């Protein structure tokens, strides 16, 4: 085995697996402490997430959101930026969808309306990211601080708009009128129905395929184009970027616009795919979840799909679990997620020295030259 | 502790240290006589620094034992090393810039809670030490206002104040002028006379010959030879370090300089904090000419190089590059300058020349990533890049050849070759080179020098910035010297020697005139 290969394996496979296992071990201890049989709980969780068609549908529907926000965090990360603002960008992306659909769903056909709404989601998400990006690039305000603050701004703005401007008159809940059917994305059961395959009805819709396409597009962009090359150069070594005639300010803007745009696409899945109206808090938690997904997926699209799947399964399986086991509350499911984030995010490299020592036994000696 | 008297101040037996796949120290045996100046030489990556870190407790050896004054001792951290009487002067000083010399020396040995009282005690004993060893330093000046030579003395005082009887110096003359280095050696001689054992790590053979009693040679993680300095020679040591015969000099054929390709007039650079780093610098470089820029590091050479390559802006003056005139108002960025035929090998290849996580063939296009031959409509042409890299790796003997190896996995010399190959293959008219052989093995140095000479012979204009005087003297047709941001003199290849360069580097002429 070549040393570089060993390194890759340690990074890509062994380390994340060990981290998740550790999280599960600690979870087991928590379950034992509150008198829940961990094996039963695990069975229930897996069955809830993957055991039947409707469950799978929900799992993949949550996964879709995590893919979008995970990609958003990853692309910023490759440019050396920590975009904490996925939450707000997704929210404002929803505003874009809402404005376009509410304005045009009376007369535009689906084939034009839907792409327009998707574009609006990306553009509004990007626009919301553009301000912190500008402040970082040209004014030196730290992107972490500004994106966090912009989450609060987004949330306040949406409350104001939904209550005072966009909300349906004579309605108690802060949400818009329902979208016309021309804006609905085809669901999984509809699409499979076209081919005569039955599939239980669930929120899973075509956005899932769109999310997978975005993964591929992000991969090509980052590793196969010169824009991606320049972006990664800025992220890995800003001095080398300046030396190479790359303007880091432009890259910061580009990376954050793409990042915000991807986060905005959460609204496509949520609003065009499922809710069919603009409502309060549809983005809840996906923006922050995306940070954990990107960390766990090592900022690589393939890893992000896998990590998003894990989080989707935890969302769906966890909901089933708290439904069936009164001892396991919704909060405890959040604890499990927190443990996974802790061990694969914050303590990501905990086992690295041990693994490297272990792997080095299989590697032939090489003396530094 | 009743120190059992031993012939050896420090003895290592079978010290082995492995970093993952790399065997950094392979059964190192070393005996250092009390009161000796003992040199350790070796190429970069030979394992010298690792060995010193083990002695000083930064790393723990995987196996082997260490005896200090004849006592077996295991040292796990620097406090234990200090307690055992070992002091270390690092290559990059470990000083807090905005603390005074006194505060720096006391740091970590403040004594009780009442700082002022212990400061007075420290001052008294430091004055004593300074008198004994000729180590006068201004105790109440913040160290960032002191020269590097003085900062180094503070480091030495720091060690002595902690009662070090074994002093390790890692590449101590790298940042000093030749005159400052002479001062250092005088101090070391005084310490030796007082019975302090000194361990000198260096790659400069001249220093080994000048001040050591014994010398040990490391190569590829092994101790390959021990010699009594008086019984060896520089060529023998060089051969032991590299493992083969080394040809020290590149051939220089006489060649008159052609038309000026780079003309710098009254250039001034002010840094972000408002300090003028480069002051009214003017020079020209003709086709087929190497102009060396000498100076103690930190005297404006880096800023000059960065301003010329477009990385930082200059505030006054004018640069003429071929037919193009660049002024502060009409500035050019590095990408534009490359298109005008200017290539730049940066001083610090890790900070600028390469992107360490990138594969070698990707680092190979850094700065040229927009060139048409690498770009399809949307994607980069990976195959073109890799093929081109393979060809360059062959020409420049970059090892290993694998274009997909991460840039960080190459040795310093090979990383430098990647950068040089990139800039030389770009076929520029003007080539700016900073520290071409810093951290590069002796074997690769002659190769790199030959390529620089070939560029000169091909009629290119070359500006060479280096802190290695020998390199400057070997390669340059003319040498300009900078001190405090100004050009303090210019010497031809034949006039230059270490003495007159050193005087210009310290700007001694001006000081005498003003005194």
Q: Specify the DSSP class assigned to residue B107.
A: T
Q: Strands B197-202, B37-42: parallel, antiparallel or unpaired by DSSP? A: parallel
The pLDDT of residue B2 is above 50: no
Among A229, A240, A356, the residue with its CB nearest the CB of B20 is A356
Q: Are residues B212 and B146 in the same domain?
A: yes
| B222 and B271 inside one domain | no
Give the CA distances from residue B30 to residues A260, B10, B23, B51, in Å, rounded to whole numbers and listed in that order.
60, 8, 17, 10
B254 found inside a domain: no
Query: Which whole number is the average pLDDT over B371-388?
Result: 93
Chain A, nearest residue to B23 by Cα:
A367
More confident residue, A116 or B23: A116
- Give the mean model confidence (pLDDT) for residues A217-241: 96
Confidence band of A219 (pLDDT split at 50, 70, 90): very high
Domain presence at residue B2: no
Query: Is pLDDT at B440 greater than 90 in this prediction?
Result: no
Section B214-224 average pLDDT? 90
**Which CATH number is B419's domain given?**
3.40.50.300
Question: Residue A366's pLDDT is what?
Answer: 44
**Quick check: A183 and A37 in contact, CB under 8 A?**
no
* Structural domain includes residue B21: yes
Q: Residue A369: pLDDT above 70?
A: no
Q: Count CA within 13 A, CB hemisphere, residue A227.
A: 16
* CB-nearest partner of B362 from A225, A229, A246: A229
**Contact indicator for B261, B285 with CB cutoff of 8 Å:** yes
Name chain A contacts of B358, Cβ cutoff 8 Å.
Answer: 232-233, 236
Q: Does residue B252 lie within any of the structural domains?
A: no
d(CA A215, CA A275): 24
Give the residue with greater pLDDT, A236 vs A15: A236
B375 contacts in chain A (CB < 8 Å):
226
pLDDT at B321 over 90: yes
B14 phi-psi bin (left φ>0, alpha ψ -120 to 50, beta other): left
B282 and B198 within one domain: no
Asked if residue A209 has pLDDT above 80, the reply is yes
pLDDT at res. A1? 47
Q: What three-state secondary structure class fits B426?
A: coil
On whether any CB of chain B is under 8 Å from the CB of A184, the answer is no
The neighbour count for residue B278, using CB atoms within 10 Å, is 30
pLDDT reported for residue B359? 93
- Assess contact for B423 and B345: CB atoms under 8 A: yes
Nearest Cα of chain A lies from the Cα of B134 at a distance, in angstroms, of: 40
Flag whether pLDDT at A241 surpasses 80: yes
Given this model, what pLDDT does residue A3 score? 54
The answer for residues whose C-beta is within 8 angstroms of residue B508's C-beta and 6 or more apart is none
A237 CB within 8 Å of a chain B CB: yes
Query: Do the chains contact at A245 and B367, CB–CB below 8 Å?
Result: yes
Q: How many CB atoms lie within 10 A of CB B140?
A: 10
CB contact under 8 A, A244 and B334: yes
Which of A220, A244, A354, A365 has the highest number of chain B CBs within 10 A, making it the mutation to test binding with B? A244
Q: Is the pLDDT of residue A364 over 70?
A: no
Task: Among B242, B271, B293, give the residue marking a domain's end.
Answer: B242
DSSP string, B11-60: EEEEEEEEETTEEEEEEEEEEEETT-EEEEEE-TTSSHHHHHHHHTTSS-
For residue B408, pLDDT over 50 is answered with: yes
- A329 CB within 8 Å of a chain B CB: no
DSSP-derived letter for residue B132 is H
Cβ(A297)–Cβ(A306) below 8 Å: yes
Lowest mean pLDDT among A24-28, A277-281, B187-191, B233-237: B233-237
Q: Does an H or E element contain B323, and which?
A: none
Spell out which residues of chain A touch residue B380, defining contact as CB-CB under 8 Å: 224-226, 229
**Whether B369 and A230 lie within 8 Å, measured CB to CB:** yes
Residue B321 falls inside a structural domain = yes
Residues B26, A367: C-beta atoms closer than 8 Å: yes
Q: Exposed, middle or buried: residue B511 (CB in 10 Å: 0-12, 13-18, 19+)?
A: exposed
CB contact under 8 Å between A244 and B367, yes or no, is yes
Judgement on whether residues B100 and B165 belong to the same structural domain of the protein: yes
- Every domain of chain A and the residues it spans: 67-304
Backbone angles phi, psi at A187, to 5 degrees: -80, 170
What pLDDT is stored for residue B513 in this prediction? 42
Picking from B183, B201, B173, B188, the residue whose alpha carbon sits closest to that of residue B44 is B201
Taking an 8 Å cut-off on Cβ atoms, the answer to whether A369 and B45 are in contact is: yes
The token duo for B458 is 């091909």
CB B10 within 8 A of CB B67: yes
Cα B294 to Cα B281: distance, rounded to the nearest angstrom: 14
Please state whether beta strands B8-19 and B461-465 pair in parallel, antiparallel, or not at all (unpaired).
unpaired
Q: What's the 3-state SS for chain A? A: CCHHHHHHHHHHHHHHHHHHHHHHHHHHHHHHHCCCCHHHHHHHHHHHHHCCHHHHHHHHHHHHHHHHHHHHHHHHHHCCCCCCCHHHHHHHHHHHHHHHHHHHCCCCCHHHHHHHHHHHHHHHHHHHHHHHHHHHHHHCCCHHHHHHHHHHHHHHHHHHHHHHHCCCCCCCCCECCCCCHHHCCCEHHHHHHHCCCCCCCCCCECHHHHHHHHHHHHHHHHHHEHHHHHHHHHHHCHHHHHHCCCCHHHHHHHHHHHHHHHHHCHHHHHHHHHHCCCECCCCCCHHHHHHHHHHHCCCCHHHHHHHHHHHHHHHHHHHHHHHHCCCCCHHHHHHHHHHHHHHHHHCCCCCHHHHHHHHHCCCCCECCC
pLDDT of A14: 81
Q: Are residues B180 and B206 in the same domain?
A: yes
Q: Evaluate whether B435 touches B348 at the Cβ level (below 8 Å).
A: yes
Q: What angle do CA B391, B392, B398 make, to 5 degrees?
A: 115
B290 SS3 class? strand
Q: Evaluate whether residue B162 is within a structural domain.
A: yes
With a cut of 0.85, is the ipTM above it? no
Determine whether the interchain pair B380/A226 forms a contact, defined as Cβ–Cβ distance below 8 Å. Answer: yes
Q: How far apart are the CA of A225 and the nearest CA of chain B, in angstroms?
A: 4
| Pairing of the two strands B71-73 and B22-33 | unpaired
Q: Which residue has the higher pLDDT, B444 or A72?
A: A72
Q: Decide if A112 touches B, using CB distance below 8 A.
A: no
Distance from B354 to chain A by nearest Cα, in Å? 7
Residue found under tokens 């014994």: B214
Q: Is A3 on the interface with B (CB under 8 A)?
A: yes
* pLDDT for the residue numbered A347: 78
pLDDT digits (tens, 9 = 90+) for B298-320: 789 999 999 999 999 999 999 99
Contact A229 B357 (CB under 8 A): no
C-alpha distance from A204 to closest chain B C-alpha (Å): 32
Residue (of A294, A321, A273) closest to A62 by Cα position: A273
DSSP 8-state secondary structure symbol assigned to residue B403? T
Tokens found for residue B144: 């960032």
**Do B369 and A244 lie within an 8 Å CB cutoff?**
yes
* Nearest-CB residue to B411 (from A236, A364, A369): A369
pLDDT tens digits along A283-315: 888 998 999 899 888 899 999 999 999 999 999
Instruction: Chain B: give the shortest CA distance to residue A319, in Å.
Output: 41
Q: Are residues B192 and B296 in the same domain?
A: no
Give mean pLDDT, residues A177-194: 93
How confident is the prediction for chain B on average, in pLDDT? 88
Q: Does A225 touch chain B (CB under 8 A)?
A: yes
Q: In the prediction, which pLDDT does B248 show?
A: 61
pLDDT computed for residue B180 by the predictor: 83
What backbone torsions phi and psi does residue B63 show, to the nearest 5 degrees? -155, 170
Does residue A236 sit at the B interface (CB-CB below 8 Å)?
yes
Of A84, A172, A162, whose CA–CA distance to A128 is shortest?
A84
Residue B290 to chain A, least CA–CA distance (Å): 22
Q: What is the pLDDT of residue A328?
A: 85
Verify that B337 and B363 share a domain, yes or no: yes
pLDDT band at B400 (very low <50, low <70, confident <90, very high): confident
Residues B454 and B398 grouped into a single domain: yes
Of B366, B375, B380, the CB nearest to A233: B366
Q: How far apart are CA B148 and CA B134, in angstroms?
A: 17
Radius of gyration of chain B (CA): 25
For an interface test with A, give the residue of B355, B403, B405, B440 to mutate (most A CBs within 10 A). Answer: B355
Q: In this predicted model, what pLDDT tens digit does every residue of B123-150 receive, in sequence order?
A: 998 998 888 888 888 889 898 888 778 8
Q: Considering CB atoms only, which of B311, B379, B399 is closest to A243?
A: B311
Query: Confidence class of residue A112 from pLDDT cuts 50, 70 and 90?
Result: very high
Residue that is last in its domain, among B185, B215, B242: B242
Q: Could you tell me if B490 and B343 lie in one domain? A: yes
The last residue of one of the domains, among B174, B208, B242, is: B242
Specify whether B287 is located in the same domain as B421. yes
Q: Which of B311, B380, B441 sits opposite A225 (nearest CB)?
A: B380
Among the residue ranges B14-28, B221-235, B279-293, B333-347, the one predicted with the least confidence is B14-28
Q: Do A4 and B26 touch (CB under 8 A)?
A: no
Instruction: Report yes or no: B175 and B148 within 8 Å, Cβ to Cβ.
Output: yes
Q: How confident is residue B510, by pLDDT bands cut at 50, 70 and 90?
A: low
Domain that holds residue B98: 8-242
Candidates A237, A300, A355, partner chain B, best to mutate (most B CBs within 10 A): A237
- Report pLDDT for B342: 96
pLDDT at A362: 67
Check if the beta carbon of residue B94 is closer than 8 Å to that of residue B78.
no
For B346, the closest of A243, A367, A368 (CB atoms) is A243
Q: Using CB atoms within 10 A of its CB, is residue B200 exposed (0-12), middle (13-18) or buried (19+)?
A: buried
- Which residue in chain A is spatially nearest to B219 when comparing CA positions? A369
Confirm whether B251 is domain-assigned.
no
> Rounded distance, CA B4 to CA B323, Å?
75
- Does B197 share its domain with B77? yes
Instruction: Write the burial class of residue B42 (CB in 10 Å: 0-12 exposed, 13-18 middle, 19+ buried).
Output: buried
DSSP code at position B3: P
Q: Is B150 a domain residue?
A: yes
- Work out the pLDDT band at B5, boundaries 50, 70, 90: low
> What pLDDT is stored for residue A115 in this prediction?
97
- B235/B376 same-domain check: no
**Contact assessment for residue A207 and residue A64, using Cβ atoms and an 8 Å cutoff:** yes
Global pTM value? 0.81
Look at chain B and report how many structural domains it folds into: 2
Which region among A2-11, A328-337, B107-116, B395-404 has the lowest average model confidence (pLDDT)? Answer: A2-11
User: Which range is least confidently modeled, A277-286, B172-181, B207-216, B338-347?
Assistant: B172-181
């Amino acid at each position: 085995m070549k040393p570089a290969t060993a390194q890759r394996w340690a990074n890509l496979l062994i380390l994340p697996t060990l981290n998740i296992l550790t999280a599960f071990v600690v979870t087991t201890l928590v379950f034992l402490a509150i008198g829940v049989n961990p094996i039963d709980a695990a069975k229930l969780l897996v069955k809830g997430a993957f055991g039947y068609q409707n469950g799978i549908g929900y799992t993949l529907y949550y996964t879709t959101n995590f893919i979008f926000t995970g990609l958003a965090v990853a692309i910023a990360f490759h440019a050396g930026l920590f975009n904490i603002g996925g939450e707000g960008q997704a929210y404002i992306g929803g505003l874009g969808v809402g404005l376009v659909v509410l304005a045009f769903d009376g007369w535009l056909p689906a084939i034009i309306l839907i792409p327009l709404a998707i574009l609006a989601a990306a553009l509004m998400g990007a626009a919301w990211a553009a301000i912190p990006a500008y402040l970082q690039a040209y004014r030196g305000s730290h992107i972490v601080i500004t994106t966090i603050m912009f989450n609060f701004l987004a949330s306040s703005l949406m409350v104001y708009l939904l209550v005072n401007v966009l909300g349906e008159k004579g309605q108690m809940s802060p949400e818009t009128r329902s979208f016309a059917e021309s804006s609905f994305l085809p669901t999984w059961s509809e699409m499979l129905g076209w081919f005569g395959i039955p599939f239980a009805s669930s929120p899973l819709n075509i956005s899932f395929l769109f999310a997978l396409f975005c993964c591929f597009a992000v991969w090509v962009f980052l590793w196969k184009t010169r824009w991606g090359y320049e972006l990664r150069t800025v992220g890995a070594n800003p001095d080398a970027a300046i030396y190479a005639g790359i303007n880091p300010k432009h890259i910061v803007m580009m990376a954050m616009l793409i990042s915000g745009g991807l986060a905005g696409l959460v609204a496509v899945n949520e609003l065009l795919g499922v809710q069919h109206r603009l409502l309060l808090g549809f983005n809840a938690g996906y923006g922050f979840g995306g940070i954990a997904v990107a960390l766990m997926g090592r900022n690589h699209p393939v890893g992000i799909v896998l990590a998003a799947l894990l989080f989707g399964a935890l969302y769906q399986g966890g909901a089933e679990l708290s439904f069936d086991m009164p001892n396991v509350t919704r909060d405890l499911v959040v604890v499990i997620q927190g443990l996974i984030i802790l061990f694969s995010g914050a303590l990501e490299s905990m086992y690295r020295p041990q693994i490297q020592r272990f792997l080095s036994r299989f590697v032939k000696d090489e003396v530094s030259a | 502790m009743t120190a059992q008297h031993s012939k050896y101040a420090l003895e290592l037996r079978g010290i082995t240290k492995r970093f993952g796949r790399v065997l950094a120290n392979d059964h190192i045996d070393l005996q250092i006589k009390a009161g000796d100046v003992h040199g350790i030489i070796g190429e970069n990556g030979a394992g010298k620094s690792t060995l010193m870190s083990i002695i000083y407790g930064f790393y723990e050896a995987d196996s082997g034992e260490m005896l200090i004054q004849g006592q077996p001792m295991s040292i796990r951290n620097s406090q234990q090393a200090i307690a055992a009487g070992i002091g270390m002067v690092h290559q990059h000083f470990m000083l807090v810039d905005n603390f005074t010399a006194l505060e720096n020396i006391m740091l970590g040995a403040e004594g009780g809670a009442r700082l002022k009282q212990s400061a007075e005690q420290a001052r008294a004993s430091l004055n004593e030490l300074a008198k004994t060893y000729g180590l006068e330093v201004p105790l109440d000046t913040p160290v960032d206002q002191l020269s590097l030579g003085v900062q180094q003395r503070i480091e030495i005082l720091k060690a002595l104040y902690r009662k070090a009887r074994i002093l390790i110096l890692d590449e101590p003359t790298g940042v000093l002028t030749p005159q400052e280095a002479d001062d250092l050696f005088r101090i070391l001689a005084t310490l030796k006379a007082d019975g302090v054992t000194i361990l000198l790590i260096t790659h400069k053979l001249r220093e080994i010959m000048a001040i050591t009693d014994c010398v040990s040679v490391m190569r590829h993680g092994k101790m390959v030879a021990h010699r009594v300095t008086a019984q060896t020679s520089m060529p023998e040591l060089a051969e032991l370090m590299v493992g083969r015969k080394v040809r020290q000099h590149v051939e220089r054929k006489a060649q008159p300089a052609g038309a000026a390709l780079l003309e710098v007039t009254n250039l001034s650079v002010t840094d972000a904090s408002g300090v003028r780093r480069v002051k009214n610098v003017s020079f020209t470089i003709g086709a087929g000419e190497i102009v060396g820029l000498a100076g103690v590091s930190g005297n404006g050479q880096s800023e000059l190089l960065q301003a010329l390559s477009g990385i930082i802006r200059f505030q006054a003056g004018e640069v003429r590059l071929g037919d193009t005139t660049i002024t502060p108002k009409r500035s050019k960025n590095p990408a534009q300058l490359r298109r005008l035929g200017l290539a730049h090998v940066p001083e610090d290849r890790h900070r600028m020349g390469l992107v360490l996580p990138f594969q070698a063939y990707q680092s190979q296009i850094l700065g040229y990533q927009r060139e048409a031959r690498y770009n399809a409509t949307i994607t980069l042409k990976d195959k073109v890049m890799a093929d081109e890299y393979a060809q360059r790796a062959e020409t420049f003997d970059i090892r290993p050849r694998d274009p997909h190896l991460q840039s960080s996995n190459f040795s310093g010399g090979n990383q430098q070759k990647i950068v040089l190959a990139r800039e030389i293959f770009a076929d520029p008219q003007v080539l700016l080179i900073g520290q071409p052989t810093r951290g590069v093995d002796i074997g690769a140095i002659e190769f790199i020098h030959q390529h620089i000479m070939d560029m000169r012979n091909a009629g290119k204009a070359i500006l060479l910035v280096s802190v290695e005087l020998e390199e400057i003297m070997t390669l340059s047709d003319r040498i300009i010297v900078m001190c405090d941001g100004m050009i303090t003199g210019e010497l031809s290849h034949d006039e230059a020697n270490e003495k007159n360069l050193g005087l210009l580097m310290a700007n001694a002429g001006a000081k005498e005139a003003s005194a």
